[in-house]
Chains A and B, each alone.
Chain A
Amino acid sequence: MTDLRPIGLLAELTHRCPLGCPYCSNPLDLVRAGQELDTKTWTRVFAEAAELGALHVHLSGGEPLVRKDIAELVNAAHLAGLYTNLITSAVGLTAQSLTELRAAGLEHVQISIQGVDTARADAVAHHKGAAKAKREAAKLVVEEGLALTVNAVIHRGNIADVAAIIDLAEGWGAGRLEVAHVQYHGWAIANRASLMPAREDFLAAAKIVEDARKRLEGTLVIDHVIPDYYAERPKACMGGWGRQVIVVAPDGRALPCHAAATLPGLAFDNVREKPLGEIWTNSEAFQKFRGTEWMPKPCQGCERAEIDWGGCRCQAFALTGNPATTDPVCALSPDHQKMREMATADAASTNGTYRFRRIGG
């Protein structure tokens, strides 16, 4: 049992996406269109999430705009009382669809960008014309009076452009910018040697971001997600396992985080079969790493145990093979040094090719 209430629902409406970004956080084993939840089931899930206490819904994917019922889904979430956030590549976002989405109750649009140089950005997105489509869509969002966030995933191929990315977000009229270094889950693990920046390049970029934050205070909110492999303390992944967020995958599996399906030995309940509240409270998967009881040393008894909640389970598993060990990002982890050496080796790699994300890939 738990008294905890989720504050957000991450609704992965589909894994289909026109882009092929090599750092996509979706799992390698992507859900196919035929397995996706229908409109009616999502409508029920939104109502159950709101009932459970969730305030925000993040309509994500894949690319949520490939769902033909996207306006209906936005409206269902809005009517349930949730704050509606569309997380999109913006490829396929037209003036007409935006007007429809706004009328349906959409409150905020987050557009991802791959960089500032059109050719290089399109190459990373693996989609010709993506950069242009994003630029045009961002303009439409601001003209509609909707809130715009620009999300820029940072890696070795664009880390030198961080200052230009900030200028671009400001120029587009965004209210918020996420400068998010790649998190190594899903496809990003497969491409780690091509994505990892050098530590000194990260430090230089971080300084630019922190300076811009001060300079643009009141104009542009900048959220900075630093690269785990160069950190000394882990993040409270998802605000702690089963504490703040529920992810519902396109096929209806309810997950404590979007990469949780990669963990061995965990069974996930499906919203097709059980109400969301019951899954949140009682399911084995949500209880497995909730709280502090499961923690090994050095987490057990650590003064940061209830700050970072032991870090990221999926990262612990990816780097050590054991999901129940301390996240190696923590300097107190016995695996920390090995992780740092791996990052240094990856950063020095001359591998510049990507394995692009694709269904059946």
Chain B
Amino acid sequence: MSAADAKPRLAPGVKLRDDAQGSKLLGPERILELDEIARAIVAQFDGQKRVSDIAAALAKEYDAKAADIQVDIEHLLKDLTAKGYVKS
């Protein structure tokens, strides 16, 4: 399966949380702060949508090139998967 076809989801026990201090992922014994772009991407990781679909949707929303956004998503996905926050 290519990275574009992956359907990422948050790993068991991982939650997206928004509060006055910003957005973060909460997992067992860990916290990861997310910037606005990372938050927008992670919010789409529902286990249903493919990376390519997410890129297309965010490209529309942010008026950017889908190919560029897909690079960002794949980069973030790789990092969050290695850290155990996301599964696909």
Interface residues of A in 212-235 (CB under 8 A from B): 217-218, 220-221, 223
The answer to whether B82 and A85 touch across the interface, beta carbons within 8 angstroms, is no
Once the chains are docked, how many angstroms separate the CA of A55 from the CA of B82? 23
Name the residue of chain B whose CB is nearest to the CB of A217.
Answer: B82
Name the residue of chain A whose CB is nearest to the CB of B88.
Answer: A218
Contact pick for B28, options A7, A85, A217, A218, CB 8 Å? A85
Once the chains are docked, how many angstroms separate the CA of A175 from the CA of B27? 10
Kindly list chain A residues whose C-beta atoms are within 8 Å of the C-beta of B13.
Answer: 107-108, 146-147, 175
Is the C-beta of B47 less than 8 angstroms from some C-beta in chain A?
no
The answer to whether B17 and A175 touch across the interface, beta carbons within 8 angstroms, is no
Q: Scoring B residues 63 to 88 as 1 if CB is less than 8 Å from chain A, else 0, what string do you get?
A: 00000000000000000011110000
Is the C-beta of B15 less than 8 angstroms from some C-beta in chain A?
yes
Name the residue of chain B whose CB is nearest to the CB of A8.
Answer: B29
Contact pick for B29, options A53, A85, A145, CB 8 Å? A85
Is the C-beta of B31 less than 8 angstroms from some C-beta in chain A?
yes
Q: Scoring A residues 142 to 170 as 1 if CB is less than 8 Å from chain B, else 0, what string do you get?
A: 00011111000000000000000000000
Q: How large is the interface on B (under 10, 10 to 19, 20 to 34, 35 or more residues)?
A: 10 to 19
Kindly list chain A residues whose C-beta atoms are within 8 Å of the C-beta of B26.
Answer: 55-56, 83
The answer to whether A147 and B12 touch across the interface, beta carbons within 8 angstroms, is yes
Is the C-beta of B40 less than 8 angstroms from some C-beta in chain A?
no
Kindly list chain B residues whose C-beta atoms are within 8 Å of the C-beta of A56.
Answer: 26, 29, 31
Once the chains are docked, how many angstroms separate the CA of A283 from the CA of B84? 38
Q: Scoring B residues 1 to 34 as 1 if CB is less than 8 Å from chain A, else 0, what string do you get?
A: 0000000000111110100010010111101000
B9 to chain A, nearest CB (A): 12
Q: With A146-B12, A175-B12 in contact, do A55 and B31 touch (Cβ < 8 Å)?
A: yes
B57 to chain A, nearest CB (A): 25
Is the C-beta of A110 less than 8 angstroms from some C-beta in chain B?
yes
Interface residues of A in 173-220 (CB under 8 A from B): 175-176, 217-218, 220
Once the chains are docked, how many angstroms separate the CA of A53 from the CA of B13? 20
Once the chains are docked, how many angstroms separate the CA of A7 from the CA of B15? 15
The answer to whether B31 and A7 touch across the interface, beta carbons within 8 angstroms, is yes
Name the residue of chain B whose CB is nearest to the CB of A141.
Answer: B12
The answer to whether A55 and B17 touch across the interface, beta carbons within 8 angstroms, is yes
Q: With A108-B28, A147-B28 in contact, do A218 and B81 touch (Cβ < 8 Å)?
A: yes
Interface residues of A in 87-118 (CB under 8 A from B): 107-108, 110
Once the chains are docked, how many angstroms separate the CA of A53 from the CA of B24? 13
Name the residue of chain B whose CB is nearest to the CB of A7.
Answer: B31
A25 to chain B, nearest CB (A): 16
Q: With A175-B84, A217-B82, A218-B84 in contact, do A149 and B28 touch (Cβ < 8 Å)?
A: yes
B33 to chain A, nearest CB (A): 11
Kindly list chain B residues whose C-beta atoms are within 8 Å of the C-beta of A107.
Answer: 13, 15
Kindly list chain A residues whose C-beta atoms are within 8 Å of the C-beta of B84.
Answer: 175-176, 218, 220-221
Kindly list chain A residues whose C-beta atoms are within 8 Å of the C-beta of B21.
Answer: 53
Name the residue of chain B whose CB is nearest to the CB of A5.
Answer: B21
Kindly list chain A residues whose C-beta atoms are within 8 Å of the C-beta of B81.
Answer: 218
Once the chains are docked, how many angstroms separate the CA of A53 from the CA of B22? 12
Once the chains are docked, how many angstroms separate the CA of A7 from the CA of B13? 17
Kindly list chain B residues whose C-beta atoms are within 8 Å of the C-beta of A7.
Answer: 31
Once the chains are docked, how many angstroms separate the CA of A220 from the CA of B82? 9
Question: Interface residues, chain B, CB within 8 Å of chain A?
Answer: 11-15, 17, 21, 24, 26-29, 31, 81-84
Question: Interface residues, chain A, CB within 8 Å of chain B?
Answer: 7, 53, 55-56, 83, 85, 107-108, 110, 145-149, 175-176, 217-218, 220-221, 223
Please, could you name 19 A-B residue pairs with CB atoms under 8 Å apart, sorted by A? Answer: A55-B17, A55-B26, A55-B31, A56-B26, A83-B15, A83-B17, A85-B28, A85-B29, A107-B13, A108-B13, A108-B27, A147-B13, A149-B28, A175-B12, A175-B13, A176-B28, A176-B84, A221-B83, A223-B29
